[in-house]
Amino acid sequence: MDIDTVLSTAFAMPITAPAFPMGPYRFINREFLIITYRTDPVKLRAVVPEPLQIGDPLVHYEFIRMPDSTGFGDYTESGQVIPVTYEGVAGGYTLAMYLDDHPPIAGGRELWGFPKKLAKPVLETHTDTIIGTLDFGPVRVATGTMGYKHRELDLAVQKQRLEAPNFLLKVIPHVDGTPRICELVRYHLKDITMKGAWTGPASLELAPHALAPVAELPVLEIVEARHLMADLTLGLGEVAFDYLEKRNLR
């Protein structure tokens, strides 16, 4: 391959057989269980990078079932998203995600900078309860439950919440281990069609694990629970803040 060919095909690795196709990425019947809880404010501030700002010490713990996604297939995801503001605009900062499918792990990390690791999340309904679990190896590290469709939520409000900006800390090292790319990335969920939104009584239990440290942000109080169904498109990102550029300007 000549240089132009290399550059024209260099969107993913390996270059001759990428782990995922180029987007856009459309998700059909994407199902969310989102349990919002209050946590330790000191521990929360320690994991949110500047220039993002936090207000109330809240965390969204998410279980997401994706049975039909362009290029990524059928998979499930789980992790923590922290409500933040950037330049006065409210959004969410993804702290950690765990999933069971290689293409979205590779694509999420390479394109956007999603902090994704391989694990075994499950989201399913048992009789009258929707249940989310996360196993890292043989260890159960998260269990979330919510009463199944107890009360409907306003679809327009939930769509607006999903449309808020999302932030990621994208890190790609140089060959010597120093940061080659260190950026705050912003992306949006687009073309959202809400198919349902419900709430109900909920619980969340997090257990310690050295390599899946979800319990480092302890559950002090359950604030809210939501069960959502939607079709949506995962948009490509943009650089909101370049850490290396800011350092070099000092």
* Phi-psi label, residue 103: left if phi above 0, alpha if psi -120 to 50, beta otherwise: alpha
φ and ψ at residue 160, rounded to 5 degrees: -60, -40
Q: Give the E-state strand segments of 87-138 in sequence order.
A: 89-99, 116-118, 120-126, 129-136
**Other CB atoms within 10 A of residue 11 CB:** 14
**Other CB atoms within 10 A of residue 144 CB:** 26
101 DSSP 8-state letter: -
∠ CA 76-52-133, nearest 5°, is 20
Distances (CA, A) of 42 to 48, 91, 168, 217, 247: 11, 20, 20, 10, 25
Query: Catalytic annotation on 159?
Result: no
Say which residue the tokens 């349902």 belong to.
196
Interatomic CA distance for residues 216 and 208, integer angstroms: 7
Residues sharing a CB contact under 8 Å with residue 40, sequence separation 6 or more, in sequence order:
57, 217, 218, 220
148 DSSP 8-state letter: T
Catalytic residue among 43, 116, 149, 170: 116
Which sequence positions are flagged as catalytic?
116
